[in-house]
Structure 1
Amino acid sequence: MSTRILIADDDPVVHESLGLYLDNEYYEHDSVYDGLEAERVAREKDYDLIVLDIMMPHKSGTEVCRDIRRISNVPIIMLTAKGEEIDRILGLELGADDYIVKPFSPREVVARIKAILRRMTEPKKNAAGQQISFPGLDINLDTYQVKVNGEIIPFTPKEVEILYLLASHKGQVMDREQILDKVWGYDYYGDRRTIDTHIKRIRQKIQVSEDTAYALITVYGVGYKFEVTQP
């Protein structure tokens, strides 16, 4: 089955340049030019990945990202103009997997698309050792599914991968560079605070009460670790 990608941007040049590179990789792709259309198409069709511009007519990319996340864990890469740091962080908090600053090289975008798709499919080729459980927490990297107290909680692919990485190295401190290398799997040129934003979202989803039996702990000046706080 062909890989299908949605490009949502109001700039025709983006569609033309990125489309050429996607064609070279034999990816199918659809183009939309405003936020409302992006959300409508994303609900009607199954995409393997969405490239979503933050600034679009009728509905912003951050709003579209938020609404898509309510129904789907499809990987989302957000496009943002240089200097819009608040928008970038907001996009990540709403569930985007990555962001790329304009102007960008279409080759870089395709490289990131390939890296995300590769990490989405590779774990499924090897069923062994891709699940881990703790009291009240089950992480399944094969299905990209997380259960908290038996309830399936919506997680983005990147959130699942970060949580699985830390939980599978229980008690081990991992710095941002290690997490970026293991989870993103390519040379990352964005803000390292991307990791902080993802960790914040993961905590909100798994640490649901004061007596939760596990925690994501910040080791200041170093990184993060997963600890089981109760036997």
Structure 2
Amino acid sequence: MSLTRRILLVEDEPIINAAVTDRLVAEGYDVVRAFDGPGAVEAFNESNPDLVLLDVMLPGFDGHEVCRRIQAVRPVPVLMLTARDDEADILVGLAVGADDYLTKPFRMRELVARVAALLRRVDRAAELAGRGSTDLGDVRVDAAARRVWVSEDEVHLTPTEFDLLLCLAMNPGVVLTRERLLDEVWGWADASGTRTVDSHIKALRAKIGTDRVRTVHGVGYAFEVSA
């Protein structure tokens, strides 16, 4: 029998907090709740969750600061809940270690699907570990250690950024559609989140260099090996 996954839910609106908790419990998850920034960090340290659902706007300090602090403790999948569908805000979240985001108001069905997809990616990480390391020009990707170096300097990526880079790097020079990336990296069966791919590509480029991921407009992206 598989172990029950534990989710830390950080949401200051009591009605939303209760509704999301009830749905996640009904789906078979163990839920730990917090309602502000300091409480979120404390709950994270005490409960050791498998995934964090994190609202951006919180009392005490905001969700970006919470994400920064918990990722400094250990890498964990983080799904940000935001009331603003603004790319600048989304990129801030990705920069501090968030893996995905969901804009309010959201459907519970979509929330549950995003949670399940993030947890599946955690499970797949063990499978990818057997691939060893790959050298692509001045970029080295170690799948087992989940570490990346660019020109001998180590680059720190979020779990999603690493999975995205690995997917592209395993197919150097090949244009991968947004739909394929959504399927292989996020585990989504539909194309409703293509903007998610674009946002993560932008965040990845900021860390490894803009010239290493080529955009094919209207199609997708390709990893370019430097000479």
Query: What TM-score bracket applies, with the shorter chain setting the length?
Result: 0.7 to 0.9
- Unaligned regions of 5+ residues in structure 2, if any? none
Residue aligning to 2:220: 223
- Give the direction of change, closer, same or farther, for the CA distance of 1:111–1:142 in structure 2 (3 Å limit): farther
User: One-letter code of the match for 1:96?
Assistant: A
In the aligned structure 2, how far is the partner of 1:99 from the partner of 1:39?
Answer: 19
Task: Please point out which of 14, 17, 26 is paired with 2:16.
Answer: 14
Determine if contact 1:73/1:154 at 8 Å carries over to the other structure.
no
Task: Please point out which of 82, 96, 110 is paired with 1:108.
Answer: 110
User: One-letter code of the match for 1:17?
Assistant: A
- Unaligned regions of 5+ residues in structure 1, if any? 209-213
Task: Please point out which of 189, 194, 204 is paired with 2:192.
Answer: 189
- Give the direction of change, closer, same or farther, for the CA distance of 1:188–1:74 in structure 2 (3 Å limit): farther
RMSD (Å) for aligned C-alpha atoms: 2.7
Greater helix fraction, Structure 1 or Structure 2 = 2
Using the size of structure 2 for normalisation, the TM-score is 0.83
User: One-letter code of the match for 1:52?
Assistant: L
Using the size of structure 1 for normalisation, the TM-score is 0.82
In the aligned structure 2, how far is the partner of 1:216 from the partner of 1:174?
Answer: 11
In the aligned structure 1, how far is the partner of 2:112 from the partner of 2:32?
Answer: 15
- Give the direction of change, closer, same or farther, for the CA distance of 1:116–1:193 in structure 2 (3 Å limit): same
Shift of 1:127: 5.1
Aligned runs of 1:128-139 on 2, under 5 Å? 128-129=130-131, 131-139=133-141
Q: Deviations over 1:149-193 (max 9, x none)?
A: 566532111101110111101011123232222211113534x33
- Give the direction of change, closer, same or farther, for the CA distance of 1:16–1:142 in structure 2 (3 Å limit): farther
Shift of 1:126: 6.5
Residue aligning to 1:37: 39
- Give the direction of change, closer, same or farther, for the CA distance of 1:54–1:193 in structure 2 (3 Å limit): same
Residue aligning to 2:5: 3
Determine if contact 1:170/1:226 at 8 Å carries over to the other structure.
yes
- Give the direction of change, closer, same or farther, for the CA distance of 1:107–1:88 in structure 2 (3 Å limit): same
In the aligned structure 2, how far is the partner of 1:149 from the partner of 1:86?
Answer: 28
Q: How many residues are treated as equivalent by the alignment?
A: 224
